């Protein structure tokens, strides 16, 4: 398995666990991490044996946003320029990665173990299911630097929390607790800190052993629903159901239901 400067990538059967691994910097997004993450996700998406991805952070934080020290050094060191060129790093690395995660056929689960700020907040919220430790927090820190949100936050936050809350979160730059994030609909679940990884791992492993094609199709249907009218969405449901019933997992699911046993999905 490929090794990365800023990530740990592990396999647990069909589940891949990606850990942001700069704990001394609260996993702040450096130029190296900006390159490592897309490379790791591309490899995992292309691996047919990987059927779900669990993303978390090492140490006390999930991702504290852009590493400003690295950005400053990047202006002097060409090898570290990825983040120091404003939107260039977004266009070249972050945006394609976030798009890939958003449309991934495989489910992506985020276990937020501490601060998720700036681009780290955007990275967490693009996951399909977000579990947060009770001590975790979410912060749109951009306004404190006199810049604008990135990491997809200007798209995800209004859709998850509504325009009023998203606007206040971005304009005021106030930290949102995990419990508040759950109340606002930003995340799925909050658990006690010592239960974060057991809970997130159990959910991710369940999905890694689930009907992979159906997960991807559900994600596509949800995305389409934001612009479809009701009749168009109904038609999409019907056509997608046609495809679903032709998968091996569907045949296994129906057989297991009739035989009153647990389905053994293969992700096909």
Would you state the pLDDT for residue 69?
Answer: 80
**8 Å CB contact between 175 and 139:** yes
**Angle subtended at Cα 161 by Cα 181 and Cα 222, rounded to the nearest 5 degrees:** 110
- The whole-angstrom separation of Cα 243 and Cα 231 is 19
Would you state the pLDDT for residue 82?
Answer: 45
Side-by-side strand order, sheet with 7-12: 7-12, 15-20, 52-57, 108-112, 129-133, 189-191
Choose between 191 and 77: higher pLDDT. 191
Would you state the pLDDT for residue 83?
Answer: 45
- The whole-angstrom separation of Cα 53 and Cα 16 is 5
The chain-wide mean pLDDT, for the chain, equals 91
Would you state the pLDDT for residue 73?
Answer: 54
The Cα-based distances of 195 to 23, 27, 109, 202, 261 in angstroms read 20, 21, 15, 11, 29
- All structural domains of the chain: 7-208 (3.90.226.10), 212-259 (1.10.12)
Helix, strand, coil distribution of the chain in percent, nearest 5: 50, 15, 30
**8 Å CB contact between 39 and 89:** no
What average pLDDT score do residues 41-48 get?
94
Closest alpha carbon to 113 in 205, 20, 37: 20
- pLDDT tens digits along 45-86: 999 999 999 999 999 999 999 888 876 554 555 444 444 556
Q: Provide the β-strand partners of residue 53.
A: 16, 108
**8 Å CB contact between 67 and 20:** no
Would you state the pLDDT for residue 71?
Answer: 63
Burial class (CB in 10 A: 0-12, 13-18, 19+), 116: buried
Would you state the pLDDT for residue 111?
Answer: 98
Choose between 77 and 146: higher pLDDT. 146
Side-by-side strand order, sheet with 176-177: 115-117, 137-139, 176-177
Using the Cα atoms of residue 219, residue 222, residue 223 and residue 224 in order, give the sign of their dihedral. Answer: positive
- pLDDT tens digits along 233-253: 999 999 999 999 999 999 999
Would you state the pLDDT for residue 70?
Answer: 72
Query: Residue 23: which residues within 8 A CB-CB, separation 6 or more?
Result: 57, 58, 59, 60, 61
**pTM for this model (two decimals):** 0.90
């Amino acid at each position: 398995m490929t090794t990365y400067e800023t990530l740990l990538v592990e396999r647990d059967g069909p589940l891949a666990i990606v850990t942001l691994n700069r704990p001394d910097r609260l996993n702040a997004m450096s130029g190296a991490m900006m390159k490592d993450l897309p490379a790791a996700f591309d490899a995992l998406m292309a691996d047919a044996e990987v059927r779900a991805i669990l993303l978390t952070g090492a140490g006390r934080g999930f991702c504290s946003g852009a590493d400003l020290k690295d950005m400053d050094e990047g202006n002097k060191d060409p090898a570290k320029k990825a983040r120091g060129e404003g939107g260039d790093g977004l266009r070249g690395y972050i945006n394609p990665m976030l798009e890939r995660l958003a449309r991934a056929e495989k489910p992506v689960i985020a276990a937020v173990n501490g601060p998720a700020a700036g681009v780290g907040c955007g990275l967490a919220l693009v996951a399909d299911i977000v579990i947060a430790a009770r001590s975790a927090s979410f912060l749109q820190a951009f306004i404190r630097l006199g810049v604008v949100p990135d990491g997809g936050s200007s798209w995800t936050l209004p859709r998850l929390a509504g325009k009023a809350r998203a606007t206040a979160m971005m304009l005021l730059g106030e930290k949102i607790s995990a419990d508040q994030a759950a109340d606002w609909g930003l995340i799925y679940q909050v658990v006690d800190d010592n239960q974060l990884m057991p809970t997130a791992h159990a959910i991710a492993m369940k999905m890694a052993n689930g009907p992979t094609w159906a997960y991807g199709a559900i994600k596509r249907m949800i995305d389409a629903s934001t612009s479809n009218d009701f009749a168009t969405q109904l038609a999409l449901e019907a056509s997608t159901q046609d495809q679903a019933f032709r998968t091996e997992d569907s045949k296994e699911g129906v057989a297991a239901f009739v035989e009153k046993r647990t389905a053994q999905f293969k992700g096909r």
